[in-house]
């Protein structure tokens, strides 16, 4: 795949959950009793949330998310639809200011030691530890992946187990390592363009359930037909 096309794909990493699913999908979700969900901004149902996993405040979670055991979604993370997050992953991990005097939060945050004399006094520095982190639709994070806050992972990307994502990942890229680097793309350039154009994850489940999943090229043609019919209505 050409460098030109790789750069153009990077522009399509944003996620918009534009068609909220009906609330009557809630009964189809599986949320374990041991899961911790702290005031997310939006959860589309259904979702599958395993025990000992966490979703923190300010997050937007797309439908059909599978969040496995002991994985953590930190504040201000947006996740698209049909994502698979394996065990022990951390998404939106806090950044620390390496350019300040110290990397410790005492310089800008009073939360950790509020009873220590003087610790709660007004801070003169500000720092946003959890800027917006964006995970596209149809993304698979392997076991023990870390995604640093502020990174964007494009639709259809795959992150290999134990990788650390510190920079943006193009759509349909397969990346791995520490820091994560490009290994290959899942499909040809034409197929990737077609999938990004048709955005199957935004269609009703009834429209996609019978697609020939093992033939992405054929899927693109069928999806284009579905989109054309929708546009003509």
Q: Which of 5, 96, 130, 155 is catalytic?
A: 96
**Cβ distance 154 to 170 under 8 Å?**
yes
Tokens representing 117 are 């004399």
| β partners of residue 79 | 61, 135
Please tell me the distance from the alpha carbon of residue 28 to that of residue 214, in angstroms, as a whole number: 26
Tokens representing 62 are 């797309």
* Phi–psi pair at 119, nearest 5 degrees: -65, -30
DSSP 93-157: EPP--TTSS-SSGGGT--SS-TTSTTTTSPPS----SS--EEE-SS-EE-TT-EEETT-EE-TT-
Tokens representing 179 are 């820091």
Instruction: Say if residue 179 is preceded by a cis peptide, omega within 30 of 0.
Output: yes
- The gap from C-alpha 124 to its chain's centroid, in whole angstroms, comes to 33
Residue 155 annotated in active site:
no
* Phi–psi pair at 220, nearest 5 degrees: -60, -45
Taking phi first (over 0 means left), then psi (-120 to 50 degrees means alpha), and beta for anything else, what does residue 199 get? left
Give the residue numbers marked as catalytic.
96
């Amino acid at each position: 795949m050409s460098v030109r096309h790789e750069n153009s794909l990077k522009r399509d990493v944003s996620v918009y959950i534009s068609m909220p699913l009906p609330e009557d999908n809630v009964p189809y979700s599986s949320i374990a009793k041991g899961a911790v969900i702290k005031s997310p901004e939006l959860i589309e149902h259904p979702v599958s949330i395993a025990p000992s996993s966490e979703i923190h405040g300010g997050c937007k979670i797309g439908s059909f998310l599978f969040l496995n055991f002991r994985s953590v979604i930190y504040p201000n993370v947006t996740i698209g639809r049909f994502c698979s997050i394996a065990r022990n992953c951390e998404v939106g991990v806090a950044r620390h200011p390496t350019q300040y005097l110290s990397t410790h939060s005492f310089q800008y945050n009073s939360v950790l030691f509020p009873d220590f004399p003087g610790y709660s006094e007004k801070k003169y520095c500000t720092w946003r530890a959890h800027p917006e982190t964006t995970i596209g639709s149809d993304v698979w994070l392997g076991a023990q992946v870390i995604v640093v806050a502020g990174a964007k992972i494009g639709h259809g990307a795959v992150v290999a187990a134990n990788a650390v994502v510190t920079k943006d990942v193009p759509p349909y890229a397969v990346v791995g390592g520490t820091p994560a680097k490009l290994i290959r793309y899942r499909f040809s350039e034409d197929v990737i363009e077609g999938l990004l154009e048709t955005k199957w994850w935004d269609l009703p489940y009834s429209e996609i359930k019978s697609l020939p999943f093992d033939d992405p090229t054929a899927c693109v043609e069928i999806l284009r037909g579905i989109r054309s019919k929708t546009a003509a209505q």
